[in-house]
Amino acid sequence: MAKNKEGFWREAIRVTKENDPAARTALEVLLTYPGVKALAAHRLSHWLWRHNLKLLARMHSQFWRFWTQIEIHPGAEISTGVFIDHGSGLVIGETAIVESNVKLYHGVTLGGTGKDKGKRHPTVRQGALISAHSQLLGPIEIGENAKVGASAVVVTDVPANVTVVGIPAKVVRINGKKDVEKIMTIEERREASYHSSHL
Ligand SMILES: CC(C)(COP(=O)(O)OP(=O)(O)OC[C@H]1O[C@@H](n2cnc3c(N)ncnc32)[C@H](O)[C@@H]1OP(=O)(O)O)[C@@H](O)C(=O)NCCC(=O)NCCS
């Protein structure tokens, strides 16, 4: 996990204000943003998990799930500067990795397919945007600064700097541009890698 020089609370307030124009004051952020509470609670749950206090870790994370409607498994690795907006129904699985400056909205699942053992949840690289109600399933990787559209279902790796939408999610933009030829090449590669990993 990346070191946080700014301190968790200061960073949480800054990141919330940067990402949500509705956030007016530090006090408002601390009192009314469930994502901030869930991320703070996860720091303790993760500490307990790593120190082999696994039942206590799970009980702690379930307690905060009740208050925030955000379920983060204590084993998940969440970096600094992550922003969770709204959050209701957000589920983050045990082996998920979420890097710095990722944005996650309500209804998102970073889940397993039920077919994998060991590392079975997604890795979300720096700066990616994971929109409301998108479902990211399996040990896939979402590249740096990628955007996943609302309600997409993602079951294959997503390269850096692209936008994917739909079910199953397909690339529709590269660096914000609709470069049809490049998009087709990327999609052929994604399809081939999906089929080779499911033989
Ligand atoms: C995907 C998203 C992030 C935009 O990314 P972008 O790179 O700027 O993409 P664009 O807006 O240029 O859209 C690209 C294409 O995908 C389509 N598209 C965008 N979002 C989509 C979605 N969720 N589902 C299906 N298609 C979608 C667009 O219509 C466009 O289609 P076209 O190629 O036929 O023109 C945005 O549309 C989105 O889903 N935001 C949701 C954020 C969120 O969760 N907000 C909740 C706040 S409470």
Nearest CA, atom 3, ligand 1: 149
Structural domains in the chain, sorted by start: 8-197 (2.160.10.10)
Listing DSSP states for 142-161 in one string gives EPTT-EE-TT-EE-S-B-TT
Task: Count other C-beta atoms under 10 Å from residue 170's C-beta.
Answer: 19
Instruction: Name the residue with the closest Cα to ligand 1, atom 12.
Output: 176
How do residues 127-148 score in pLDDT, each as one tens digit?
999 999 999 999 999 999 999 9
Contact between residue 81 and residue 96 where contact means Cβ atoms under 8 Å apart: no
The amino acid present at 177, given as its one-letter code, is K
Q: Which atom of ligand 1 is nearest to the CA of 105?
A: 44
Mean residue pLDDT across the chain: 96
- pTM as predicted: 0.95
Ligand 1 binding pocket, CB closer than 6 Å: 86, 105, 129, 131-132, 147, 149-151, 163, 165-166, 172-173, 176, 178
As a whole number of angstroms, the distance between CA 41 and CA 139 comes to: 25
Please give the number of the atom of ligand 1 that sits closest to the Cα of 163: 7
pLDDT digits (tens, 9 = 90+) for 46-55: 999 999 999 9
**For residues 45-68, average pLDDT:** 98
